[in-house]
Amino acid sequence: MTERRDNVEVRRGVRDEEQQRYERARKQVEALKGFYIHATAFVLVNIALFALNVLVGGAWWFYWPLLGWGMGLGAHALVFRHD
């Protein structure tokens, strides 16, 4: 009887460990997906700002939001890589 109970506890422990690995992997995938969404928005918005700056003419200003947002995206990448 004790041997059977030990086997059940071992299987339960294996399932718990597999569940924990699955949850960790799921969180990593969600974090990566969030980073890709952030990076895509960064590229699209900055292309639009560049086009607007070209159309309006005058002094070049598009790079200021590019630099600021680029630093934020870089910070997001660093946080993502260290999780």
Position 15 scores a pLDDT of 84
Q: What is the pLDDT of residues 23-44, one digit of tens each?
A: 999 999 999 999 999 999 999 9
Cβ proximity of 31 and 83 under 8 Å: yes
pLDDT tier at 14, thresholds 50, 70, 90: confident
Total-model pTM: 0.76
Report which of 39, 33, 35 is spatially closest to residue 70, judged by C-alpha positions.
39
- Number of structural domains (the chain) is 1
Spatial neighbors of 35 by CB under 8 A, at least 6 apart, are 76, 77, 80
pLDDT for 10 beyond 80: no
Q: What is the pLDDT of residues 50-78, one digit of tens each?
A: 999 999 999 999 999 999 999 999 999 99
pLDDT for 4 beyond 90: no
Range of the domain at 52: 2-82
